[in-house]
């Protein structure tokens, strides 16, 4: 069954502000919250749907991905090396609700350890690597699960003890008028337990700083500012809490020949004066080798030639762009006496700058200059 549009789920416009999103969520969450609809599976499913929409639309990065790609940006069937914008919903079921309402409903679940932070690794690619795809090995220094206590934070011979203040729940409740307000336990700070004898290696944190080596598969067609998400490869969470994600931020370095614009490639190809006038055939580069390009006679400098399907194949829709070659007529330099003599003869044959047949642009330009000065003289007399 297809998911409903997140904006329709919350009953808001796409242009809604964050405040309007939270207001809509609060109204619907109160209506469908499980504590008010005990045993109602339909209300529980509706609450989860509303919560999911709220989490996406209040996260600027996730919202941007959703606005561009829709639900496919969060496809749960994506691989661990999902491309650009495939985010996971890692927020605990009660976290967002508590953020908006201050835990006014009595959620009795024990507080969980903090999920590890997401990390970002900046990687530079050549244009060839970005277009063809490549596997890159990267090294990151980050918190990983402690090898001594295996993430528990406790000495192997001891166990944790429940907090006596909250009785292991991590929360305490106080009555305030109509509502029962749930707050973090001030004694154990929401953990619900104490570690009597912390691990000496990680000092009870359950993680230590380590160097991690990863192989990152870069899909063909990526471009600058694209990101690849490596699920659970970020910072390890405290005491076996879930790990964060690692985002690989891509920058494609400047190429000496080609410039990329979306899926098209551009390059400038110099040709000499004779070929521009008489026409001919030249070899032009592509990312897959050289190809021949026919230059028609009387080609002007700056003319753009399109070579279809020699650009970049899009990573999103698999569409292949074009190669656009701009020819630049190069003025000859370091002429010998014979060459200068030939060019002088050629110039005389053009009848200077007045040769309408051979140099029509020059003829129109200088006729326009003459008219401009004639008009200027007439108006000043």
* Cβ(183)–Cβ(169) below 8 Å: no
pLDDT score for 85: 37
Q: Give the strand pairing for 259-261 and 280-286.
A: unpaired
Backbone angles phi, psi at 65, to 5 degrees: -65, -40
Lowest mean pLDDT among 12-16, 176-180, 308-312, 336-340: 176-180
Q: What is the mean pLDDT of the chain?
A: 79
Q: Residue 373 maps to which CATH number?
A: 2.60.260.20
Binding site listing for Zn(2+): 146, 149, 163, 166, 185, 188, 199, 202
Binding site listing: 146, 149, 163, 166, 185, 188, 199, 202
Pairwise CA distance, residues 321 & 326, whole Å: 16
302 occurs within a structural domain: yes
Pairwise CA distance, residues 63 & 70, whole Å: 9
285 occurs within a structural domain: yes
pLDDT score for 354: 55
Alpha helix segments (H runs only) across the chain: 6-10, 18-32, 41-57, 60-69, 95-101, 127-132, 273-278, 337-349, 360-380
Average pLDDT over residues 130-154: 86
Please count the structural domains in the chain.
Answer: 1
120 occurs within a structural domain: no
Confidence band for 92, pLDDT divided at 50, 70 and 90: very low
Query: What percent of the chain stands above pLDDT 70?
Result: 79
19 occurs within a structural domain: no
The per-residue pLDDT for range 256-307, each reduced to its tens digit, is 999 999 889 999 999 988 888 888 999 898 888 889 999 999 888 889 999 9
87 occurs within a structural domain: no
pLDDT at residue 352 tops 70: no
What domain range includes position 317? 266-380
368 occurs within a structural domain: yes
The residue that leads in pLDDT, 354 or 174, is 174
The 3-state DSSP class for residue 30 equals: helix
- Note if the pTM is more than 0.85: no
Pairwise CA distance, residues 286 & 266, whole Å: 10
The per-residue pLDDT for range 324-340, each reduced to its tens digit, is 999 999 888 898 999 88
Pairwise CA distance, residues 267 & 260, whole Å: 9
pLDDT score for 96: 43
pLDDT score for 186: 75
């Amino acid at each position: 069954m297809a998911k409903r549009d997140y904006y329709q789920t919350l009953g808001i416009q796409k242009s809604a502000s964050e405040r309007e999103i939270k207001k809509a969520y609060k109204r619907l969450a109160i209506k469908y919250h499980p504590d008010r609809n005990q045993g109602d599976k339909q209300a529980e499913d509706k609450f989860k749907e509303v919560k999911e929409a709220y989490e996406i639309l209040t996260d600027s990065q996730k919202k941007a991905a959703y606005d561009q790609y829709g639900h496919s940006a969060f496809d749960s069937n994506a691989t661990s090396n999902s491309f650009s914008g495939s985010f996971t919903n890692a927020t605990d079921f009660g976290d967002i609700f508590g953020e908006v309402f201050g835990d006014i409903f009595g959620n009795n679940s024990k507080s969980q350890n903090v999920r590890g932070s997401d990390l970002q690794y900046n990687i530079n690619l050549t244009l060839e690597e970005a277009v063809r795809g490549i596997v890159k090995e990267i090294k990151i220094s980050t918190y990983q699960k402690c090898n001594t206590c295996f993430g528990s934070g406790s000495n192997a011979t001891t166990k944790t003890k429940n907090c006596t203040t909250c009785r292991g729940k991590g929360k305490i409740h106080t009555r305030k008028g109509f509502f029962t307000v749930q707050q973090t336990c001030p004694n154990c700070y929401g953990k619900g337990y104490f570690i009597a004898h912390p691990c000496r290696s990680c000092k009870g944190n359950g993680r230590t700083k380590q160097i991690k080596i990863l192989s990152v598969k870069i899909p063909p067609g990526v471009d600058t500012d694209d990101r690849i998400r490596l699920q659970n490869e970020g910072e390890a969470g405290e005491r076996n809490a879930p790990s964060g994600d690692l985002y690989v931020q891509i920058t494609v370095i400047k190429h000496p020949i080609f410039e990329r614009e979306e899926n098209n490639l551009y390059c400038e190809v110099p040709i000499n004066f004779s070929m521009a006038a008489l026409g001919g055939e030249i070899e032009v580069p592509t990312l897959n080798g050289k190809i021949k390009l026919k230059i028609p006679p009387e080609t002007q400098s700056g003319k753009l030639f399109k070579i279809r399907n020699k650009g970049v194949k899009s990573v999103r829709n698999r569409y292949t762009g074009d190669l656009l070659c701009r020819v630049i007529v190069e003025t000859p330099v370091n002429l010998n006496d014979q060459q200068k003599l030939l060019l002088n003869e050629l110039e005389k044959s053009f009848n200077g700058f007045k040769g309408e047949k051979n140099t029509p642009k020059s003829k129109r330009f200088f006729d326009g200059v003459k008219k401009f000065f004639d008009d200027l003289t007439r108006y000043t007399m």
